[in-house]
Structure 1
């Protein structure tokens, strides 16, 4: 009988791609492998605890509850291993709760663990090893809703070369950027199409897709399946010849849309607090260029940044999205999260030094969409959360920032009526109130 490995992760709408890559490794080593999304905020998960090894994929925000699960499992004699972002940046902390901690990419460490050849409780990954083709079959059999989804996730590259202040890269770059072989991507796509004929679109989860033009040239020559990708505005500014070439290659290869982060409309905050130097003008130039070439675009922004007047900063960011859409036709969608100061990052230190935060991430939420943990008033946090929840709708309304301002400072309970009268008075009749 084969030994068994159970891999646990927090429930999410996006399939657990990283664990699928690891499942391919463990299955090659002869282990029966099960991936199980769970809600760590619920009671202790007791099924399948007979597995020989139980692994946790851990990120900050779920770590405290996951530690409780690990403790219960170890009490009943199960061997517990842990990896993921939180384990990679806080290995000594995680080592107090697990038998083995994986830092960085997990393929080679997992082989060592399964074979019993590890020489340390904390094992560092090999950043040069190519990714295995993910094992999806068992997971899709157990969770048919993921199989039926028309959108599937892939990774064309790993890591990010940038050090934004809110990212763990500002602490230490454990995951260097590296592109995958195009041939491997084609093999993965073929397997995926054979396994799930429902697949209509690939979402590349890379931090910076298509950064390497030489790689992108080969990709464009060999890939044709529709996809959406994430990148940075610096690589899309048509003032640069390289950006114009990149956009043409993206279009040729089947890219239907892009996700880019604005984060905040305040250029000073973006540069000095977030460590990102792009200008607002670059977004207008790039979106105009992309719109003319029929790309769809999603913007991302963080609300509740450590600024003296966070609501005004957030409303300015909404206004920028509204103006972009009015002038260029993009973004197609504007996505907003609520900022979390992750321990050890540059912005976490900034928040501590300037009195915005005094915690150690024990209060970090499990998602980006909860109330702020910064030292704002409860009233401010409530209004900020409302704005984040409705940002995607307000960005689509002509002059939606005006509706947002009225709602945020007056009545957050009746967005439908506020929008209706705004569209009548300001947009249809053109009168001022």
Structure 2
């Protein structure tokens, strides 16, 4: 079977789709990968994302295939829909949607796609390709929702989660029949030079000033945060065995292949949701093998509950140079709302102090916070700022405007309480970069680089002063100041960087 796999994500790494391509090729099918970075890219959300000429080139690339697969998250629903409609209008090739949004909202997705993959996709897509190749029925395949010609929909339950992630090969970077949409909308063959250029422009690559390779050593997350799709995905499998890890040898083999393929790789970006939650013995084995056989700087994600002195010492010795940790809020009330009550300020500060002990050997860590939460009061946001004033320097802040993604506990609350009235406007067309202009958000922006003196930030976020300056009469003025500051930062940031 010939299968076109399409990604609308701005990031060309797309670990899951590349792994899918490698697995299908290993099992005897041919894949064509097409990267169509959504031109909206968190800024201008219109319904039509791609130019007519781009879609004509895309259709030409899909005419000789037997199946088209599209991966999507919620923000790329409009892109997936436009791609699918263009393919349906010009060909009879069936289109299957997969990824987080397809898993969480299959009822919505099956309206546009012929088939929707719910849950992990490797085995389901292999079964689908095998069945189509044999001319066999596909309406009873596990993990797949299938829409028949008469509109009837077969909704098949997911199969048990595969525990052995070593079954899957390293992501496909072969460049064989890989295509990419460049800035003017033209789809061109992916070359090594083009690949390396884009590997240099990722968020962490910009921060570290090196070409980075992004990978994942496991799937899932040990936490159940109410704003995160991971909790919805756990519920699909009754939360049994959702967190899984690849073996150390499997990960190291992949990274050795990458070093051989891309000798200029300057660091490895481990994007597991909570790499620090890997069992201690496995983490120690990883650090030993990584230091001996890879020897590149690397970055990873952490949570306040998983950072320990022992793990930090092992990881820094192996080459860890950058950590991103989700704090989200300094308010006990909001921490409880996020199902993160155990990640209170005491544990946050303990984790930050452990990370800070290695400041001489690392880049400043990044700490994530959520803003513009409909259930948050001004005092909650000020508490977060007062917590930031206590964080040991240096650090960077990454404040994100909350998006109430479908399938999450907060989305259900938002629908119930009237905070989601128009799904497109309030969720699908909203980006986590679209932060509101307000006095607390202005303080976040000013404190983002970690250079604001703690005593000054505590004063500006103190209860009496903060409440006065965040009051309704002053909001328009601070909104203007906030927009002006963002515009200035956008003008001053380096080419290829991102606005604060």
TM (norm. structure 1) is 0.81
Where do residues 19-418 of structure 1 align in structure 2 (5 Å cutoff)?
19-28=17-26, 29-39=28-38, 41-43=49-51, 45-47=55-57, 48-52=61-65, 53-76=67-90, 77-116=92-131, 118=138, 119-120=140-141, 121-122=144-145, 124=158, 126-130=161-165, 131-138=168-175, 139=178, 141=191, 143-144=194-195, 145-147=197-199, 150-173=211-234, 174=236, 176-211=242-277, 212-224=279-291, 225-236=296-307, 243-294=308-359, 295=362, 296-307=364-375, 309-310=377-378, 313-324=380-391, 328-331=392-395, 333-360=396-423, 363-365=426-428, 368-371=431-434, 381-383=436-438, 387=442, 390=445, 393=448, 395-399=450-454, 401=457, 408=478, 411-412=481-482, 415=485
Cα gap change, 1:412 to 1:99, in 2 (>3 Å): closer
Contact 2:298/2:322, CA 8 A, preserved across alignment = yes
More deviation, 140-149/106-115: 140-149
| Larger deviation, residues 116-125 vs 14-23 | 116-125
Judging changes above 3 Å, is the alpha-carbon distance between structure 1 residues 414 and 91 closer, same or farther for their aligned structure 2 residues?
closer
Does the CA contact (< 8 Å) of 2:334 and 2:380 recur in 1?
no
Structure 2 unmatched runs, 5+: 40-48, 133-137, 146-155, 179-189, 202-210, 470-476, 490-500
**Number of residue pairs the alignment of both structures matches:** 397
Alpha-carbon distance in 1 for matches of 2:412, 2:443 = 24
Structure 1 counterpart SS, 2:171: coil
Secondary structure at the residue paired with 2:191? helix
Cα distance, 1:274 vs structure 2: 4.6
Q: Could you tell me how far 1:187 is from its partner in structure 2?
A: 1.0
Structure 1 gap ranges (5+) = 237-242, 373-380, 420-433
The CA distance in 1 between the partners of 2:366 and 2:289, in whole Å, is 26
TM-superposed deviation, 1:396: 3.0
Distance in 1, matches of 2:106 and 2:252, equals 35
SS at match of 1:249: helix
Deviation at 1:200, TM superposition (A): 1.1
Q: Sort the Cα spacing of 1:55 and 1:87 in 2 relative to 1 into closer, same or farther, 3 A.
A: same
The answer as to whether partners of 1:337 and 1:388 remain within 8 angstroms in 2 is no
Aligned 8 A contact 1:343 1:360 in 2:
no
Distance in 2, Cα, partners of 1:227 & 1:114: 37
State the distance in 2 between where 1:385 and 1:9 align.
36
CA deviation string 1:83-121 (max 9, x = no partner): 000111122322222122212222111211222264344
Tell me the distance in 1 between the aligned counterparts of 2:164 and 2:17.
Answer: 16
Question: Cα–Cα, structure 1 residues 308 and 190, in superposed 2: closer, same or farther, change >3 Å?
Answer: closer
SS state at 1:137 partner: coil
* Structure 1 pair 207–388 and aligned structure 2 pair: CA distance change class (3 A): farther
Q: Report the Cα offset of residue 351 of structure 1.
A: 2.3
Which 10-residue stretch deviates more, 81-90 or 351-360? Answer: 351-360
* Separation (CA, whole Å) in 2 of partners of 1:396 and 1:7: 44
Separation in structure 2 between the aligned mates of residue 395 and residue 11 of structure 1, nearest angstrom: 30
TM-score by length of 2: 0.71
Contact 2:102 2:118 in 1 (8 A): yes
Q: Closer, same or farther in 2 for the Cα pair 1:409/1:32, shift >3 Å?
A: closer
